[in-house]
Each structure stands twice: as C-alpha cells, then as structure tokens.
C-alpha cells in the first residue's frame, strides 16, 4: 500500500522524497564518521597541548633552579664568602668584616632577582650572614635538616618545599610555607673540604606566576608535587588532595580516574634531577565538549538542510526577498537622515536577527550623535573654565607684584617678605595644573607658608628644615607638607604656653621617601590619637569635606601610589606630635 501511495504521488513529491533520503543518508554517514575521527584527533591534540604546557612550566622552573645553583656557585667562589667560611669560631673580627661583605654580595642578588626572599650563608661553626633571614633560637644552624642534607650530598642542589619548623625566619612578612628553599654545600677551593652551606629562600610566587601563565582549558589546572608526594604548589582546588602519589608513579604517564563523580585525565611528568612531578588535570567532559558541540552542529545542519529541501522554491524566495527588500528600503531612508524608523521583526531567524541588529545600529547612531553633541558642549565649557582659571592666577600675580613694589617704595621690607612668600605659596600651589612637582618646590611652598605664619605668630613659632640635598630632586605630590605643618601649628603649638618649634625632616629609606613634620606642642590624648588613626584607616566617606587636611593628604597619597604608602601619626601628650608621610621614590 505504501509503494502504491508513493507511485501515485507527483514527480515533485517523489524527487523531494528521494532528495531528502539521499541528503539524510549522506549527512548521517559523514556525521558519525567525522565525529569519531574528530574525537580521536581532539584527544591526541589535547594530550599534546597539555604535555607541551607542562614541559613549558617544567623547563621554566628548571631554569630558575639552575640560576639559583649558579648564584650559590658564584657566592661560593667569592673571596669574602670563602674567608667567612674559613673563619674560626672565636675569630670575631674576621667574621664581622667578612660577614658584612658577604651581606653586600647577597644584597646584589636579592635586588636583582625579586623572586629571592632571602639568602643565608652559614659556616661550619654555625656563624651566619644574611640580610633577610635571622636565627630564631641559639641552637646551631649546622644541626638543621637543610644543612645536614647539603653537607651529606655536597655536589647536589637540595630543595625543601614549605620549610616549616626551621630555626630561622624571614625578616619580611613572608611565612615559611610561602617559600621554597634551595641549599648547597660550599667547599674550600684549596683543600676541597666542606666549609659551609649557602641557602636561598625563593618565593613560591614565582612558581605560581609560571603555572598561571599557561592554560589547560576552562577548568583544567597544573600542580607540582615533591619527591615525598607533598604538594609544592597548587591552585585552590579540592581535586588536588584526591590525587594520590600512586596515581602518578613513574617518570611520565597518563591515566583517567573518577573524582567526585566526574572522570579526569591525569598527565604527569617527573623533574629528572630533583624528583618532583608536574601533574596536569583535565576534566574529560571539557576536553570532549568540542566533539559534543560538533555533533549538535551536525544535527542542526541536517535539520536545516531537510527543511530547505522540503520547502518550495517560491515560498523560500518570497520569505527571504520580502523582508530583505523591506530592510533595504529602511536603510536608504536612514542614509537620508530619517533615524526614527524601525524594522518590524516578527521572527527570530537570520533576517529577524539582522533586523534587530539594524534597530540597534540606528539606536546607536542616535546615541552617538547625542553623545558627540554633549561632548562638544562640555568641551566648550571646559575651555571657558580653563581660560578663566588662567586669567585668575595671572591677575593675582600681577596684583601681588604691584603690592610688592609699593611696599619697596615705602621701604616696608616685612611686607615685601610676606608678599613674596604669598606669591610663592600661590605659584607652587597652582603649579600650572601639575599634580607632581619636585620636592625642592614643595619645600619652598611649605617654607613660604611658615614665613607667613611666623609673621602672625612672631614670638610663638620657630622652625627648622633638615632635608637631605640628595632627595630634593625627587618628585612628590604637591601640597602634602603644608597641611601637616598647619596641623602642627593649630593643634599643637597655638595652644601651648611659650614658644613652639617645628622640625621638617626628609630622607630616603630604601625605595621609600620619608617626610616628617615634628612639633613640640601639646600633643594628642591617647583616645583622640586612636580615633584619628582609625578615621584615616577607613575608606573615604563620599561627600565629606576635608580640605587639605591630614585625611586629604593621606587619601591622595594612597590613591596615587597604593595602600602601602600614606600618613602615620605618633603623639605623646605634653611632648608633641610626629606626622610622617611615606612616599615612593620618583625621579625627575
């Protein structure tokens, strides 16, 4: 009956049926075969990519470790290090002299290599030299595990991950579980006798940066295990602690294991010299997601192809040409400037999406026109304000200059000095709009302010500036000292009985610039000092007017240079107050 039904149908129906059958058979065959071959190719490519990324991480770490070995070898060949190692237990003079030179040598590498947290040099009598590491207890360092291991195998670089429980600590705010220690014995170049050990603490941050520089898909990750199956470094992922050392035994390999109900591919590779293993973990469903997407795309293509094969050519042409013609007509009107037109999208197919995109494009054009108009208007207003801002300082300087010459004509030298100080105060304060100025200008600014205040408090105030000449060339935020001096005058010296003194100090401390304003005024009560520190610690409150006070200076420094810089306050009631501004060193 079915054959008779087909036989009695029209030629169009038969051709359409045969056409759909052939297309369906071809698509299904190609789809299944292509999916199988593509799946195998994806698995091989994923494994190859993972191994390549792991080798990249491994090679980078090995290069770092070799560089640490070279640093130790370099230090071991230094004359000062050898003399420090040879020094006797009671040879205090030699130990002190050579120890200082050893620390200078260590400091060179600590500055050059930011991944080094600290270097420690220990001789066979437990004497040590280091800039960043110090002994916790008086127990001999020669009895430490890392020292014994280095002496026991002097030709090998020894690694210790998370060296917790040592008799040493870092002076920096870095705990032992945040570093990786490498140690190696030092031999006497003449007698070939072991005379000490050099140890380097490396920040685990360098391993983290290397590991995070590569990617294993969306949720795959890499972690590193030491020779005792302890985790040297891993991202925050609970899967790490489900992977046992037995799974990654041997030099290299790959296996699939279920973890938390999902299958993971685990690929591992061993560091040949140190016994560590680098392990890559990839969820299988993620690595095969591309294959699943391909199958979905294949089904969609098959459905679309069958649909178009079934639809009559006239309906197809009419359904496409009509909306396209409508869209084309709207585009021409938009070109002529009619921006209030919209495409009536009734479908979500390609034409409908194109119509939606057209509507969004027209809206964006309207928004851009409005934005350009607004920007031009704001630009003109800003230019006017800038012109006004230029006129006002110019007028002010001319007026002050006139007052100065009038005072000179009347031989009023005290008025001349005040006018000059006020002129400098305004000139440096405005600084042509610059926020960063040389420290020498900032010192001139605050000195001009002090000259004006001393005229007001003639018998009440005196000051002294002790600033190193070498730091005056550095650049700082403008108007940071004047608010501190103003605070010292009005809250410290003004209410003091008798004359008060203000001392301004400035010097460089490492990579920081320290500017200190010290007064011998009445000081601050302890509860007020605590509240002031707390107010400066919290986030700035919006809408709160603070002028150029301590809060403003503190916030400006932190916003410009980071939270590690800013203002600190120390005060003793009845003795005075010390306010310090800590800034980074910025050269001209």
Residue 174 maps to a domain: yes
Please report the pLDDT score of residue 275 as a whole number.
75
What is the pLDDT at residue 544? 43
- The H-or-E segment that residue 583 falls in is strand 576-584
Measured distance CA(504)–CA(492) in Å, rounded: 15
pLDDT digits (tens, 9 = 90+) for 64-74: 889 999 999 99
From first CA to last CA, the distance across the chain in angstroms is 97
In a domain, 560, yes or no: yes
Rounded Cα distance, 505 and 177, in Å: 39
Give the integer Cα–Cα distance in Å for 15 and 384. 78
Q: Which of 181, 182, 277 minimizes the C-alpha distance to 227?
A: 277
**41, containing H or E segment:** helix 11-77
Domain end residue (candidates: 180, 207, 234): 207
Domain membership of residue 488 as a residue range? 412-584
pLDDT for the residue numbered 210: 84
Q: Order of strands across the sheet with 512-519?
A: 461-467, 500-509, 512-519, 576-584, 566-572
Task: Characterise 328 by phi-psi region: left (phi > 0), alpha (psi -120 to 50), beta (else).
Answer: alpha
The predicted-structure confidence for 31-62, as pLDDT tens digits, reads as follows 677 666 766 777 677 777 777 887 888 888 88
> 134 - beta bridge partners?
169
- Angle CA 223–162–50, to nearest 5: 10
For residue 388, the model assigns a pLDDT of 42
Domain contains 20: no
pLDDT at 35: 66
pLDDT confidence of residue 430? 60
Q: 81, 76, 86, 74: which is closest to 103 by C-alpha? A: 81
At 283, which helix (H) or strand (E)?
strand 277-283
Of 587, 365, 562, the C-alpha closest to 470 is 587
Q: CA 252 to CA 262: how far, in whole Å? A: 23
Q: Is the pTM of this model over 0.75?
A: no
- Confidence at residue 571, expressed as pLDDT on a 0 to 100 scale: 92
On whether residue 296 sits in a domain, the answer given is: no
Quick check: 78 and 181 in contact, CB under 8 A?
no
Burial class (CB in 10 A: 0-12, 13-18, 19+), 278: buried
Tell me how many domains the chain contains.
2
Per the domain annotation, does 319 fall within a domain?
no
**Is residue 562, in this structure, part of any structural domain at all?**
yes
Rounded Cα gap, residues 323 and 303, in angstroms: 23
List the beta strands (DSSP E) in 172-251. Answer: 179-187, 194-203, 221-225, 231-233
Q: Which of 160, 185, 207 is the last residue of a domain?
A: 207
Q: Is residue 488 part of a domain?
A: yes
Per-residue CA distances from 110 to 76, 203, 210, 490, 587 (Å): 16, 12, 20, 45, 22
> What tokens does 587 get?
């050269």
At residue 1, the pLDDT reads 46
3-state SS record for 500-548: EEEEEEEEEECCEEEEEEEECCCCCCHHHHHHHHHHHHCCCCCCCCCCC
**What are the mean pLDDT values of the chain's consecutive 10-residue runs (588 residues total)?**
55 52 68 68 73 82 89 92 88 88 92 91 91 89 91 90 84 83 92 93 86 78 78 74 64 74 77 79 70 69 68 54 67 72 72 74 75 56 45 51 57 58 61 75 87 80 91 88 90 87 93 94 90 75 48 85 90 93 88
pLDDT of residue 112: 92
How many Cα neighbours within 13 Å face the side chain of 229? 11
pLDDT digits (tens, 9 = 90+) for 379-404: 544 443 444 444 455 445 555 555 65
Q: Which of 466, 465, 458, 522 is CA-nearest to residue 490?
A: 522
Residue at a domain's end among 207, 239, 261: 207
Q: Which two tokens stand for residue 242?
A: 């489900």
Helix, strand or coil for residue 155? coil
Is residue 547 situated within a structural domain? yes
Question: Residue 511 phi/psi, 5° resolution?
Answer: -95, 10
User: Domain of 531: which CATH number?
Assistant: 3.30.565.10
Distance from C-alpha of 77 to C-alpha of 85, rounded to nearest angstrom: 11
What CATH number does residue 97 fall under?
A: 3.30.450.20
Q: Give CA torsion, residues 381, 383, 385, 387, to 10 deg.
A: -150
């Amino acid at each position: 009956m079915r054959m008779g039904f087909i036989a009695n149908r029209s030629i169009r129906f038969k051709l359409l049926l045969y056409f759909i059958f052939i297309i369906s058979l071809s698509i299904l065959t190609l789809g299944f075969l292509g999916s199988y071959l593509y799946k195998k190719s994806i698995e091989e490519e994923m494994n190859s990519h993972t191994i390549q990324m792991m080798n990249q991480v491994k090679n980078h770490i090995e290069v770092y470790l070799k560089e640490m070995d070279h640093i130790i070898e370099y230090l071991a060949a230094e004359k000062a290090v050898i003399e420090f190692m040879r020094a006797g237990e009671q040879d205090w003079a030699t130990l002190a002299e050579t120890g200082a030179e050893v620390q200078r040598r260590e400091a060179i590498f600590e500055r050059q290599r930011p991944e080094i947290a600290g270097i420690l040099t220990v001789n066979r009598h437990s004497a040590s030299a280091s800039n960043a590491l110090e002994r916790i207890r008086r127990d001999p360092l020669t009895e430490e595990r890392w020292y014994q291991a280095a002496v026991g195998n002097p030709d090998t670089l020894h690694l210790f991950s998370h060296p917790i429980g040592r008799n040493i600590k870092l002076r920096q705010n870095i705990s032992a579980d945040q570093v990786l220690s490498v140690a190696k014995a030092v031999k006497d170049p003449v007698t070939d006798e072991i005379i000490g050990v050099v140890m380097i603490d490396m920040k685990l941050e360098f391993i983290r940066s290397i590991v995070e520089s590569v990617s294993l898909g969306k949720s795959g990750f890499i972690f590193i295990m030491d020779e005792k199956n302890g985790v040297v470094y891993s991202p925050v992922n609970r899967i790490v602690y489900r992977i046992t050392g037995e799974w990654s035994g041997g030099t290299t390999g790959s296996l699939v294991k279920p973890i938390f109900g999902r299958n993971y591919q685990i690929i591992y590779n061993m560091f040949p010299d140190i016994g560590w293993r680098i392990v890559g973990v990839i969820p299988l469903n993620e690595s095969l997601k591309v294959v699943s997407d391909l199958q979905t795309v294949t089904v969609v293509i098959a459905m679309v192809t069958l649909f178009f094969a079934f639809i009559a050519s006239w309906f197809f042409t009419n359904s496409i040409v009509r909306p396209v013609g409508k869209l084309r007509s709207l585009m021409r009107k938009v070109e002529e400037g009619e921006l209030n037109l919209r495409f009536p999208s009734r479908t979500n197919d390609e034409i409908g999406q194109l119509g939606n995109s057209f509507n969004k494009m027209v809206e964006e054009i309207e928004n851009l026109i409005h934005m350009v108009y607004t920007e031009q208007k704001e630009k003109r207003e800003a230019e006017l304000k800038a012109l006004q801002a230029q006129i006002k300082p110019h007028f002010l300087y001319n007026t002050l200059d006139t007052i100065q010459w009038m005072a000179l004509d009347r031989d009023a030298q005290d008025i001349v000095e005040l006018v000059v100080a006020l002129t400098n105060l305004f000139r440096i304060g405005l600084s042509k709009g610059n926020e960063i100025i040389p420290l020498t200008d900032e010192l001139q600014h605050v000195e001009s302010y002090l000259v004006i205040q001393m005229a007001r408090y003639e018998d009440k105030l005196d000051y002294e500036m002790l600033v190193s000449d070498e730091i005056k060339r550095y650049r700082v935020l403008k108007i940071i000292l004047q608010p501190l001096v103003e605070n010292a005058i009005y809250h410290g010296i003004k209410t003091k009985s008798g004359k008060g003194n203000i001392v301004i100090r400035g010097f460089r401390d490492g990579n920081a610039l320290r500017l200190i304003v010290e007064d011998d005024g009445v000081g601050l009560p302890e509860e007020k000092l605590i509240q002031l520190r707390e107010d400066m610690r919290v986030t700035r409150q919006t809408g709160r007017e603070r002028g150029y006070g301590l809060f403003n200076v503190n916030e400006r420094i932190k916003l410009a240079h980071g939270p590690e810089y800013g203002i600190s306050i120390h005060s003793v009631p009845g003795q005075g107050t010390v306010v310090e501004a800590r800034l980074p060193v910025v050269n001209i």
